[in-house]
């Protein structure tokens, strides 16, 4: 039977992830230093793991409310209020999900009608366009450039907005570039969203990994709380990728709509992960800040290292990625990543995996030890030397 013929058009429209391919090649080789993975190299702090083990001992092994444990929703709402002074009702405006990944999928599926357009600043996280396509929408990439430190402007968005534009999907601090948006520039985006009556999906999963100043939550901008779907989670800041826990905050009707899909598909996020997440929010700040301080040291190491190698890159301001230009080598980003992997055993992700505007760049994750990063920089340096 030819299964390829039987696939849905939406699935056929989605290209395979450019990141996965590199993981798979690198996993089969020995001695590879991977800067390819967007995943903390820390283990989840012990007190978080312990709270989960303790919950299991006490017999917490059941489903929870579809919306998530009320205690967790309360802790989430409290954290968002403490950090950004935005109020959400934990009973109606918070949905606990299986990672930000599920929250994103639910948000676009609950929002989009076939053919609805979603503006997406690019380069962007690989799932954004895929989720929009799977929901029957049309992703409209808005290319950003290194000259403006990969920040999108309201002017760029205005050129691409049409009567079919339903939403804007942003993710700052940004994966893959490490860009953030200063409050003033975000405020201009907010005015743009209001003018065109757009919903804004704001993926703030890297909010706690902001190095040079506080993060601006999109929902905290004037008049934005009610048109924002705010997404966040535990994977990155608390080193909890495998726990699969995230959340969405929005208007109660929209949260109910997301929950309508969630209750028939996931039912609820795993109770064990929810217990860990409660502990992370209640007592995890110190450990999280220590991990962030460590990423900050590595960020500086990578920035200086790339400069010494002679690759142009701007200083990332958040997340744990650096996005140097490799145009000096004359190679495409895929050629660079493939040849680097084969000859120097360093795995990086080609920039075009994050959209056409990522071509000419590579993404290096610095969620790796200083020892690994130093060795990787020396191998990249040798590789670039040979290709000048």
- Of residues 196-235, those binding ligand PLP (CB under 6 A): 203, 205, 233, 235
- Of residues 29-48, those binding ligand PLP (CB under 6 A): 38
321 scored as a contact of ligand PLP (CB under 6 A): no
- Of residues 118-137, those binding ligand PLP (CB under 6 A): 125
| Residue with smaller CB distance to ligand PLP, 112 or 207 | 207
175 scored as a contact of ligand PLP (CB under 6 A): yes
> Do the Cβ atoms of 36 and 349 come closer than 8 Å?
yes
Cβ of residue 250: shortest distance to ligand PLP, in angstroms?
Answer: 17
Cβ of residue 219: shortest distance to ligand PLP, in angstroms?
Answer: 17
Stretch that binds ligand PLP, among 51-59, 97-105, 189-197, 360-368 (CB under 6 A): 97-105
Cβ of residue 158: shortest distance to ligand PLP, in angstroms?
Answer: 24
Cα 207 from chain centroid (whole Å)? 10
Cβ of residue 268: shortest distance to ligand PLP, in angstroms?
Answer: 16
Cβ of residue 15: shortest distance to ligand PLP, in angstroms?
Answer: 17
> Do the Cβ atoms of 98 and 330 come closer than 8 Å?
no
Cβ of residue 1: shortest distance to ligand PLP, in angstroms?
Answer: 33
**Phi first, then psi: what are they for 157, rounded to 5°?**
-65, -40
Residues 6+ apart with CB under 8 A from 89: 77, 252
| Residue with smaller CB distance to ligand PLP, 309 or 317 | 317
- Judged by CB under 6 A, the residue of 79, 241, 263, 378 near ligand PLP is 241
Bridge-based pairing of strands 362-365 and 199-203 is: unpaired
Cis ω for the linkage preceding 212 (within 30 of 0):
no
Question: What b/e sequence results for 259-297 when a residue is b if at least 16 CB atoms lie within 10 Å of its CB, and e otherwise?
Answer: beebeeebebbbbbbbbbbbbbbeebeebbeebbebbbe
Stretch that binds ligand PLP, among 96-104, 271-279, 296-304, 349-357 (CB under 6 A): 96-104
Cβ of residue 235: shortest distance to ligand PLP, in angstroms?
Answer: 3
- Judged by CB under 6 A, the residue of 99, 178, 316, 350 near ligand PLP is 99
Cβ of residue 329: shortest distance to ligand PLP, in angstroms?
Answer: 26
| Residue with smaller CB distance to ligand PLP, 175 or 216 | 175
Stretch that binds ligand PLP, among 77-85, 95-103, 185-193, 283-291 (CB under 6 A): 95-103
Cβ of residue 316: shortest distance to ligand PLP, in angstroms?
Answer: 13
100 scored as a contact of ligand PLP (CB under 6 A): yes
Q: Burial of 239 by CB count in 10 Å (0-12 exposed, 13-18 middle, 19+ buried)?
A: buried
- Judged by CB under 6 A, the residue of 246, 284, 316, 324 near ligand PLP is 246
- Judged by CB under 6 A, the residue of 34, 64, 101, 250 near ligand PLP is 101
Q: For ligand PLP, how many residues bind (rule: CB under 6 A)?
A: 13
- Judged by CB under 6 A, the residue of 36, 45, 171, 351 near ligand PLP is 171
> Do the Cβ atoms of 97 and 117 come closer than 8 Å?
no
> Do the Cβ atoms of 255 and 248 come closer than 8 Å?
yes
Q: Measuring CA to CA, how many Å separate 184 from each of 71, 154, 218, 221, 222?
A: 35, 11, 11, 10, 12
Left (φ > 0), alpha (ψ -120 to 50) or beta: where does 261 sit? alpha
Cβ-based neighbour number of residue 56 at 10 Å: 12
Kindly report the length of the chain: 388
Q: How many Cα atoms within 13 Å fall on the side-chain side of residue 136?
A: 9
DSSP 8-state assignment for residue 41 = S
284 scored as a contact of ligand PLP (CB under 6 A): no
**Binding region for ligand PLP (CB under 6 A):** 38, 99-101, 125, 171, 175, 203, 205, 233, 235, 241, 246
């Amino acid at each position: 039977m030819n299964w390829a013929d039987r696939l849905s058009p939406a699935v056929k429209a989605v290209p395979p992830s450019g990141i996965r391919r590199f993981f798979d090649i690198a996993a089969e080789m020995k001695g590879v230093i991977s800067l390819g993975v967007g995943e903390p190299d820390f283990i989840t702090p012990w007190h978080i793991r312990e709270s989960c083990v303790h919950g299991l001992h006490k017999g917490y092994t059941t489903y929870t409310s579809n919306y998530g444990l009320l205690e967790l929703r309360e802790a989430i709402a409290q954290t968002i209020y403490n950090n950004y002074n935005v109020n959400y009702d934990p009973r109606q405006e918070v949905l606990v999900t299986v990672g930000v990944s599920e929250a994103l999928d639910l948000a676009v599926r609950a929002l989009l009608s076939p053919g609805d357009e979603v503006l997406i600043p690019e380069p962007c996280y690989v799932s954004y366009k895929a989720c929009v396509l799977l929901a029957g929408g049309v992703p409209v990439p808005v290319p950003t450039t290194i000259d403006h430190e990969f920040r999108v402007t309201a002017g760029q968005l205005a050129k691409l907005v049409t009567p079919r534009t339903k939403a804007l999907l942003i993710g700052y601090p940004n994966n893959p570039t490490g860009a953030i948006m200063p409050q003033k520039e975000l405020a201009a985006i907010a005015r743009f969203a209001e003018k065109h009556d757009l919903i804004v999906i704001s993926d703030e999963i890297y909010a706690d990994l902001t190095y040079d100043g506080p993060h601006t939550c999109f929902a905290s901008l004037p008049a934005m709380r009610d048109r924002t779907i705010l997404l966040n989670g535990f994977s990155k800041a608390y080193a909890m990728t495998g726990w699969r826990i995230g959340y969405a905050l929005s208007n109660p009707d929209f949260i109910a709509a997301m929950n309508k899909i969630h209750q028939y598909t996931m039912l609820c996020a795993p109770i064990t992960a929810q217990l860990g997440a409660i502990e992370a929010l209640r007592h995890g700040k110190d450990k999280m800040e220590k991990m962030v301080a460590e990423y900050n040291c590595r960020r500086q190491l990578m920035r200086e290292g790339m400069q010494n190698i002679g690759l142009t890159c701007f200083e990332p301001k958040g997340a744990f990625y650096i996005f140097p230009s490799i145009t000096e080598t004359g190679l495409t980003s895929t050629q660079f990543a493939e040849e680097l992997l084969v000859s120097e055993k360093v795995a990086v992700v080609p920039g075009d995996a994050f959209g056409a505007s990522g071509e000419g760049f590579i993404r290096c994750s610095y969620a790796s030890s200083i020892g690994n990063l130093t060795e990787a920089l020396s191998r990249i340096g040798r590789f670039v030397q040979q290709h000048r």
